[in-house]
Structure 1
């Protein structure tokens, strides 16, 4: 043991999730611009290490700045199929793995465990992008047996997270879809989508594009805690307005609704989005699959310790006594008194605000692969 150093201890994990930061000498830490307060071990890890003080430190160690690292991911295919009956799309594309937005509640966090990384801070700082995505998409769309259905962008992580400004993978995917007349739906909470406004407006004129903007809260302070690297509430409402003014069908996603944290804002979010130009709306009750549950508890302990027990009690009342129930029939809305009241409030608000009255399906009949380089356009199309 070296005086003045932090010495590492290795811990054998059981099948239950164990926190490397649970040791009393190694407390959880807030990091500026990050949502998670630990690098929770993934559920497939067999060993973890934790640093322990030997008591010889002469001064407090300065907090390490967490930098974002982006690595290319060589994918074999780009379109993922969906068979979940509660999800309104059959196929999706995720240009990025991990998300710098850092939303503490993100149900995509557990996916980082599949690449031996933490669903905690690693999910926000160790990102992957798919440079071959546009080429793979073109290959998929040219296959003779391809059945054209709308493709969802942003079903797992945000396609317009900050990394998109550099890599432009989402933009390239949209350009391929535009050439093929492939319909697309997009979910985002980023103003970066406005960089692609002319392209999206052109696709919308042919009924090939719909966008949903996620608005979790209208409170800037809460936004900074929940979603540290996302656009603010006013910016998201402006994005809705700009999309609507450009003729792009736009919906608002009031998601997630977190008991005793932001659920009181449901009606205000829907009204503000309607005033900005949204004509469709949806909501999702907080989901806490796998590692998200302990990460969310850590977040509550750090930011709302006085509400921790109450929030988690309401969550369990809405999930059959557990932190989460993945049953397709209720995982989006939950069960129990709180969930039922939230559902009733949503329906009443939508009726008063004239939301969800008219929903138009995207046009798949226009789909037509363009000629490859060197080929002539058919005279009979």
Structure 2
């Protein structure tokens, strides 16, 4: 990723204009008299007290009914991240702002507890990291995710987690207890085993080797663990599917899923800008391969198609994935949460009010 003024350690290289903001601020003429202060590339953290944390997920094809995100924005900087667009609702950009202006929901634990102790709550599983990674670097200091998990354990609230950060291993003690009760499943995202590729598409994440270590250590703790080969980027990472599935199975994974990259909203222009610098020799091939999976567009919002894609390339990816899941004995049986008698816990919750 060489090039003049290229921002190493970041995915996006600029901020596309926020569609909700009318005014534009930027450096347009170098001969201007007024001074212009360039924004720092350093990550900043913005404390915020939210009104809610757990949200219902209306999309029928994402595999979750409710999600909770203690952080908004993600320092991992994954160039393809679908959550980038949501940063615009905070009057920030979906490009660089998403990676270096992280909102910390300081009252996340209190909001989580308030939600799951409602009189009519039926203990449907809640997914952590539905929008941004709950184990991104700032979690090491803030420990919001750990405290949420502790609260979930106390009330016997079922949880699912998806992450690409080895920091999850810090919480093996709580995760193990949730798993013993049948209240937890964890998925680790692995996009590429190639370290050069990983550094380009996910600049501030841990290596694939570390992620496989996460799978192995959690499996050794009898924690239900799977891998998410996501997103598959046709023309770039699709050929790695067999190797990722074998390595994951060898490490102890029991389940696997995949998603073909789709570039919704402003992600398309951010991704293409990055692609032209990161892979100038393969830019057109990769871009056209993505188009072929979404009816000639880079995004398809149709439920049932948007995650797995359509067309010849998407079908090849689907067949390869199914074949190597079978070869590596993945997805042999579905995961099911345990059924727990809630009467005692309901009485405990009501006593709090």
Residue 147, structure 1, aligned to residue 118, structure 2: no
1:320 pairs with 295, 298, 314, which one? Answer: 295
Give the Cα separation in 2 of the matches to 1:366 and 1:68: 45
**1:371 and 2:348 aligned:** yes
- The CA distance in 1 between the partners of 2:30 and 2:76, in whole Å, is 36
1:238 counterpart = 2:222: no
**Deviation of 1:85 (Å):** 1.2
Which residue of the partner structure matches residue 272 of structure 1?
Answer: 247
More helix per residue: 1 or 2?
Answer: 2
- Report the CA distance between 1:29 and its aligned residue: 4.1
Aligned to 2:17: 41
> 1:201 and 2:186 equivalent?
no
**Match 2:329 to one of 343, 350, 354:** 354
Q: Alignment partner of 2:281: what SS? A: coil
CA deviation after TM superposition for structure 1 residue 64, in Å: 6.8
| 1:32 CA drift (Å) | 2.3
Q: Scaled by the length of structure 1, what TM-score is found? A: 0.86
CA contact (8 A) 1:42 1:110 kept: no
Post-superposition Cα deviations, 1:102-151, rounded to whole Å, max 9, x if no partner, equal 00000000001111111000000001111111111211122111121111
Distance 2:201 2:249 in 1: 23
Q: CA deviation digits over 1:29-52, x for unaligned, max 9?
A: 421211111122123232323313
Partner of residue 105, structure 2: 130
Superposed CA RMSD in Å reads 2.2
Q: 1:152-163, aligned counterparts within 5 Å?
A: 152-163=127-138
- Shift, 1:80, TM fit: 0.5
Q: How does 1:197-236 map to 2 (within 5 A)?
A: 197-236=172-211
Flag the 1:324–1:153 CA change in 2: closer, same or farther, 3 A. Answer: same
Question: Given the superposition, is the C-alpha separation of residues 97 and 370 from structure 1 closer, same or farther in structure 2, using an over 3 Å criterion?
Answer: farther
Question: Counterpart of 2:141 in 1: which secondary structure?
Answer: helix
Aligned to 1:78: 53
Cα distance in 2 for residues equivalent to 1:230 and 1:369: 39
Q: Secondary structure at the match of 2:305?
A: coil
CA contact (8 A) 2:119 2:350 kept: no
Match of 1:191 among 150, 166, 177: 166
Alignment partner for residue 82 of structure 2, among 103, 107, 110?
107
Maintained 8 Å contact 1:149/1:364: no
**Which whole-Å CA distance do the structure 2 matches of 1:312 and 1:93 have between them?**
32
Q: Distance in 2 between matches of 1:96 and 1:121?
A: 16
- Shift of residue 28, structure 1, vs aligned partner: 8.1
Q: Secondary structure at the match of 1:299?
A: helix
- The match for 1:52 is 28
Does the CA contact (< 8 Å) of 1:79 and 1:92 recur in 2? yes
Q: Deviations over 1:40-70 (max 9, x none)?
A: 21232323233134469xxxx9997511111
Measure, in 2, the Cα distance between the counterparts of 1:355 and 1:294: 36
Paired positions, count: 346
2:278 matched residue in structure 1 = 303
State the alpha-carbon separation in 1 of the partners of residues 92 and 27 from structure 2: 18
CA–CA separation in structure 2 for the residues paired with 1:370 and 1:201:
25
Query: What TM-score do you get using the length of structure 2 for normalisation?
Result: 0.93
The alpha carbon displacement at 1:186 in A equals: 0.3
Matched, 1:90 2:65: yes
In 2, Cα distance between equivalents of 1:243 and 1:54: 54
Give distance in 2, aligned partners of 1:82 and 1:267: 31
Give unpaired runs (5+ residues) of structure 2: none
Using the alignment, how far apart are the partners of 2:144 and 2:220 within structure 1?
25
181-190 vs 34-43, which moves further: 34-43
Q: Gapped runs of 5+ residues in structure 1? A: 1-26, 376-381
